[in-house]
């Protein structure tokens, strides 16, 4: 159910239009009455985009109830950003447009992935310069767990492991190093992995974490052979295994004089070779894109035909000027032939909160635009995504054009038909 907490005439009209779109909507007496109408069946509330409506009490009540907030009207974008809300729709947005926004921000729990899908290894890689690999890996694990699949998160970064610190876990935990030692002796199975992992809860779901090595000098413990055995065991243990790896692959090491000694970045190369899909993260600035273009070619040569999803992180106009997305898109297409790109917005508030509290963003800023972006990324990576129904109702089975025409006609006529149907129900 969706609560429409707007001025009475507008609330009645929009509720009627949403009903035509298959959304169970109810008009109430303004934002001041939202708290008394919150209950288990409410999915979202539509309020004016004003300081008077978006009060701390309202936001706290919606957070406690797990209810999303959609704002309508002209407002200071900085206000909505501080509150962790997406951009407001215009005041006179028709029902089909509001329904589309509700559908786009809907929880991915309604698009649960079938359990029959094969287990996968997803490697999160990016070039030097902290493009946000670990941040994306953590939030991706949260969102994949939301789809209903058992998810594990591994820190295989042998240069700057950080998942333990980012998640508030002890960096002296046995983690991936102990798992690799068990793999060497043939004693690694699902029960042993579950014992070595830390269980982390975030955003109403849980996932397992194998922390990384606590000192970069321990890199020889994560050899290529051990990683291959470990990842094979992970396929039996979890349905989705997200692995955070270091930037360098050093494939040219094979040409050095020592052909049997350990390789400095063998963990990264082994994980990329074993992965079913690679999420390649680039920073949205000139240096980050340049580094990505140089290293992406080497990674593509190493992994062959393995699908690579390119994610450009922290997109903002500051370092790139006007039309940041367009500039990045044209550059990646021209120099690497990359046309399918996922853009993640820059959200300093969410990033700072995650660092301060050592928790995933989904726990602290659930309405962050960055969280929503990774959620869409997770759904796009789903092996067999189901089509989610619009919030609060089921699809009417008609085309988007027909639904828009019905909304427009209902608005022009004062929505009498929708109102009759709403009262009859």
Higher-confidence residue of 402 and 293: namely 293
Look at residue 40 in the predicted model and tell me its pLDDT.
66
Residue 69 Ramachandran class (φ > 0 left, ψ -120 to 50 alpha, else beta):
beta
Tell me the whole-structure pTM to 2 decimals.
0.68
- What CATH code is carried by the domain that includes residue 54? 3.40.50
Asked if 200 and 216 sit in the same domain, the reply is yes
Using alpha carbons, select from 359, 358, 332 the residue that is nearest to residue 343.
332
Look at residue 396 in the predicted model and tell me its pLDDT.
38
Asked if 95 and 126 sit in the same domain, the reply is no
Provide the mean pLDDT of the chain. Answer: 82
Across the beta sheet with 25-27, the strand order is 25-27, 2-4, 44-48, 68-72
Asked if 33 and 169 sit in the same domain, the reply is no
Of the CA atoms within 13 Å of residue 4, those in its CB half-sphere come to 24
The domain in which residue 85 lies consists of 2-106+388-424
Could you identify the residue written with the tokens 């929708």? 418
Using alpha carbons, select from 306, 263, 296 the residue that is nearest to residue 122.
306
Q: Where are the alpha helices (DSSP H) in 21-108?
A: 34-37, 56-65, 77-82, 95-104
Mean pLDDT of 18-25: 85
Look at residue 261 in the predicted model and tell me its pLDDT.
60
Look at residue 357 in the predicted model and tell me its pLDDT.
93
- Lowest-confidence region among 129-138, 224-233, 242-251: 242-251
Q: Looking at 381, 400, 415, which one is the last position of a domain?
A: 381
Mean pLDDT of 380-406: 49
Q: State whether the Cα torsion 166-169-170-175 is positive or negative.
A: negative
CA-CA distance, 282 to 266, in Å (whole number)?
22
How many structural domains compose the chain?
2
pLDDT band of 85, cuts 50, 70, 90: confident
Terminal alpha carbon distance of the chain: 14
Contact 25, 392 (CB under 8 A): yes
Asked if 262 and 204 sit in the same domain, the reply is yes
Residue 163, helix vs strand vs coil: helix
Mean pLDDT of 67-79: 75
Asked if 338 and 203 sit in the same domain, the reply is yes
Higher-confidence residue of 200 and 407: namely 200
pLDDT band of 421, cuts 50, 70, 90: very low
Asked if 341 and 405 sit in the same domain, the reply is no
- What CATH code is carried by the domain that includes residue 168? 3.40.50.300
Asked if 292 and 372 sit in the same domain, the reply is yes
Asked if 130 and 87 sit in the same domain, the reply is no
Look at residue 174 in the predicted model and tell me its pLDDT.
83
Of the CA atoms within 13 Å of residue 199, those in its CB half-sphere come to 6
Q: What DSSP element (H or E) covers 178?
A: helix 175-185
Look at residue 423 in the predicted model and tell me its pLDDT.
39
Look at residue 29 in the predicted model and tell me its pLDDT.
84
Asked if 75 and 189 sit in the same domain, the reply is no
Compute the CA torsion angle 85, 72, 63, 210 (nearest 10 deg).
Answer: -30
Asked if 210 and 301 sit in the same domain, the reply is yes
Number of C-beta neighbours around residue 65 at 10 A? 15
The yes-or-no verdict on residue 247 having pLDDT over 50 is yes
Asked if 190 and 330 sit in the same domain, the reply is yes
Look at residue 76 in the predicted model and tell me its pLDDT.
59
- Lowest-confidence region among 67-71, 89-93, 299-303, 411-415: 411-415
Q: Helix and strand tally (H, E) in the chain? A: 18, 12
pLDDT band of 258, cuts 50, 70, 90: low
Mean pLDDT of 255-278: 80
The yes-or-no verdict on residue 415 having pLDDT over 70 is no
Number of C-beta neighbours around residue 275 at 10 A? 23
For the stretch 154-211, pLDDT in tens is: 999 999 999 999 999 987 778 999 999 999 899 999 999 999 999 999 878 999 999 9
Asked if 186 and 84 sit in the same domain, the reply is no
């Amino acid at each position: 159910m969706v609560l429409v907490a707007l001025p009475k005439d507008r609330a009645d009209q929009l509720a009627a239009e949403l009903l035509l779109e298959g959304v169970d909507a109810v008009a109430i007496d303004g934002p001041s009455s939202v708290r008394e109408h919150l209950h288990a069946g409410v999915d979202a509330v539509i309020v004016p985009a004003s300081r008077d409506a978006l009060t701390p009490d309202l936001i706290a009540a919606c957070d406690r109830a797990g209810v999303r907030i959609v704002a309508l009207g002209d407002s200071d974008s900085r206000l909505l950003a501080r509150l962790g809300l997406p951009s407001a729709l215009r005041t006179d947005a028709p029902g089909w447009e509001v329904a589309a926004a509700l559908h786009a921000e809907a929880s991915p729990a309604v698009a649960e992935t079938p359990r029959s899908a094969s287990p996968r290894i997803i490697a999160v890689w990016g070039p030097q310069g902290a493009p946000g690999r670990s941040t994306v890996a953590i939030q991706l694990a949260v969102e994949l767990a939301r789809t209903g699949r058992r998810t594990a998160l591994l820190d295989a970064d042998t240069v700057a492991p950080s998942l333990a610190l980012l998640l508030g876990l002890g960096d002296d935990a046995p983690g991936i190093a102990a798992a690799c030692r068990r793999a060497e002796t043939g004693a690694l199975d699902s029960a042993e992995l579950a014992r070595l992992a830390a269980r982390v809860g975030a955003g109403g779901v849980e996932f397992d974490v194998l922390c990384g090595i606590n000192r970069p000098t321990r890199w020889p413990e994560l050899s290529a052979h051990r990683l291959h055995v470990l990842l094979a065991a992970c396929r039996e243990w979890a349905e989705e295994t997200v692995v955070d790896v270091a930037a360098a692959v050093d494939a040219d090491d094979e040409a050095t004089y020592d052909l049997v000694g350990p390789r400095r970045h063998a963990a990264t190369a082994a994980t990329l070779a074993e992965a079913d899909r690679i999420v390649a993260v680039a920073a949205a600035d000139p240096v980050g894109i340049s580094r990505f273009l140089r290293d992406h070619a080497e990674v593509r040569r190493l992994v062959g035909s393995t699908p690579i999803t390119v994610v450009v992180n922290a997109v903002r106009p500051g370092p790139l000027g006007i039309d940041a997305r367009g500039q990045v898109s044209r550059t990646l297409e021209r120099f690497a032939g990359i046309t399918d790109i996922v853009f993640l917005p820059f959200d300093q508030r969410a990033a700072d909160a995650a660092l301060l509290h050592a928790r995933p963003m989904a726990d602290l800023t659930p309405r962050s635009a960055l969280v929503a972006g990774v959620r869409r990324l997770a759904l796009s990576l789903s092996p067999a995504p189901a089509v989610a129904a619009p919030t609060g109702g089921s699809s009417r089975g008609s085309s988007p054009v027909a639904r828009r025409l019905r909304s427009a006609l209902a608005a022009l006529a004062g929505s009498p038909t929708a109102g009759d149907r709403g009262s009859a129900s």
